[in-house]
Chains A and B, each alone.
Chain A
Amino acid sequence: MIGERWFGALLVIALGVALTFLTLPLVAIFVDVGPGELVASLGEPGTLAALRLSLETTAIALAVIVLLGTPAAWLLATRSFRGRSIAVTLVELPLVVPPAVAGIALLAALGPQGILGERVSAAGPELVFQTAGVVVALTFVASPFYIRQALAAFGALDPALLEASRTLGASEARTFVAVALPNALPGLVAGGALAWGRALGEFGATLVFAGSLSGVTQTAPLAIYERFANDFTGALALSAVLVAVSATILLGAKLVSGGRVLGDARA
């Protein structure tokens, strides 16, 4: 019995340390900068442009990720084929690649001297130094977060449910749209929130692949880094906004996906 109590205490201590460690730096951002300073530095040129650009590019990237990632994850979750686990690993690979490496890789593939560079510029818009390049970098870095989660959500569906749909004569496409999607929705929304959050915070791949220019490619994290050297308050203020936006997205996703934020272990 005493062992039980010790174990319980150990768990509580571990959670306490983890929570303190993870929240303290974020709390410091808000403590360090007063509300007045925060509002004032938001008025600086470039700050709102950076925030707007961040919201626009992450929204477009998220749309691309969801439109492409959902069917791809469905295929990976429901079919067994040769090379499936290799495909899953490849999809997850950007998770473990350092962001700067992702940027270099994108340059090597899609840059002006990249292996697809000439074909890309012949077929569509230029990417390097362009807003479209930011979207490409965000999509590359953030999509594994969504696809992984979608894969798990589809994989957790009750096979009997899908089987029933097919037995009732529904086509594969109809089963996907009418049964799989609604039932996997909480997982998909959670994955979308994670991918969005990751895209909002993206720094290295964007800088290396797309560059940094206010209003065009300078997203909020790049603007924060530029202010860091000479305008620490400005950097803190923009950081505070970014943290608030990210937290709102995460909370919103949890509410939308039906799990109560507090007191629900499955949320």
Chain B
Amino acid sequence: MIPALRSLAVLASAFGFAGCGDDVGGGDGGKPRLTVLAAASLTEAFEQYGGQFDAAAVRLSFAGSDELAAQIRQGVEPDVYAAANTTLPEQLFEEDLVKKPVTFAGNRLVIAVPADSDEISSLDDLAAEGVKLAIGSEDVPVGAYTREVLERLAGAERGAILGNVRSNEPDVTGVTGKLTQGAADAGLLYITDVVATNGRLEAIELPDSLQPSLEYGIAVVEGADQPQAAEELIDGLLRGPGREAMEQAGFEPPPE
């Protein structure tokens, strides 16, 4: 969701539920209804998992994690909140708005290149002369993580890589588009973004020492209508069909 819609979504939530929800699972059929607010990057995995969840009809609403947290703070009461970090669920827990959150998945930042590319095979190659890079602008999460990685490099290499940046895109879609169109030679994206391109982009792993921590937290919301189904949903993410759906989308398994 573009930031301009952010305030609208928050506004809408003040009057009830922001109307971007989606019924998954084909009709209620007398089943209880489970409302899940989830980070936008979880869309594919959660739609698949929600469709096969038996205990309840899952109603999903996707947006940026911070927008969803704002909705909950303004009184929206879903059953489950799933965020693209662990900070926001922990904050809501401290504010007594959700129950104790758990980490249910991880993501990684990778170097993304077009599938037919052969000039880039490591982080060092990004510093080579003439390489064209598209990355997220520093104001958006993917761009902030990208700079976190670059901060850990030696000054000269960092300077060379930043010197090759041809565009600071306002979201991951911009980076993906510039890469699939062959306009840029490489960029930094989440592994799940690369998986979602169905083979048009390839991922090159970053060294572990540079990898920022990208953990996803989930919690049952205080006052949930369906606390039991909510627990079951989270349980399936940790060790059931939800975990499979997450891994298919490229997410890392939860920490053991």
Contact = CB atoms under 8 A, between A and B. Distances in A.
Interface of A: 107, 111-113, 128-129, 207-208, 211-214, 216-218, 225-230
A266 B178 CA distance: 46
Nearest to B133: A129
Contact of A212 (B4, B170, B181, B183): B170
Given A228-B3, A229-B140, A213 B167 contact: yes
Contacts, number: 54
A122 to B, nearest CB: 16
Q: Which 9 A-B residue pairs are closest in the complex by CB-CB distance? A: A211-B167, A129-B166, A229-B139, A112-B182, A128-B183, A113-B182, A230-B139, A111-B181, A107-B181
B183 A112 contact: yes
A212 B135 CA distance: 10
Contacts of A208: 174, 177
Nearest to A227: B139
B211 interface: no
19 contacts: A111-B181, A113-B181, A129-B183, A207-B169, A207-B174, A208-B177, A211-B166, A211-B168, A211-B169, A211-B178, A211-B183, A212-B137, A212-B167, A212-B170, A213-B166, A213-B168, A217-B167, A226-B137, A229-B3
Contacts of A230: 139
B132 A129 contact: yes
Given A111-B181, A128-B183, A213 B165 contact: yes
Interface of B: 3-4, 132, 134, 137, 139-140, 165-170, 174, 177-178, 181-184
Contacts of A128: 178, 183
Contacts of B170: 207, 212, 225-226
Contacts of A225: 170
Nearest to B6: A229
Contacts of A207: 169-170, 174
Main SS of chain B's interface residues?
Answer: mixed
Given A211-B134, A228-B3, A230-B139, A107 B183 contact: yes
Nearest to B170: A225
B168 A111 contact: no
Contacts of A216: 166
Given A112-B182, A211-B169, A212-B167, 17 more contacts: A111-B183, A112-B181, A113-B181, A113-B182, A128-B178, A207-B169, A207-B174, A208-B174, A211-B178, A213-B166, A216-B166, A225-B170, A226-B137, A226-B168, A227-B139, A228-B3, A230-B139
A64 to B, nearest CB: 23
Question: Which has the most chain A C-beta neighbours within 10 Å: B140, B168, B169?
Answer: B168
A178 B134 CA distance: 50
A81 B118 CA distance: 52
A113 B182 CA distance: 6
A76 B12 CA distance: 49
B132 A212 contact: no
A141 B147 CA distance: 34
Given A107-B183, A212-B168, A226 B139 contact: yes
A128 B167 CA distance: 10
Nearest to A228: B3
A111 B178 CA distance: 10
A129 B167 contact: yes
Given A213-B168, A226-B137, A111 B3 contact: no
B224 to A, nearest CB: 31
Question: Which has the most chain A C-beta neighbours within 10 Å: B3, B132, B183?
Answer: B183
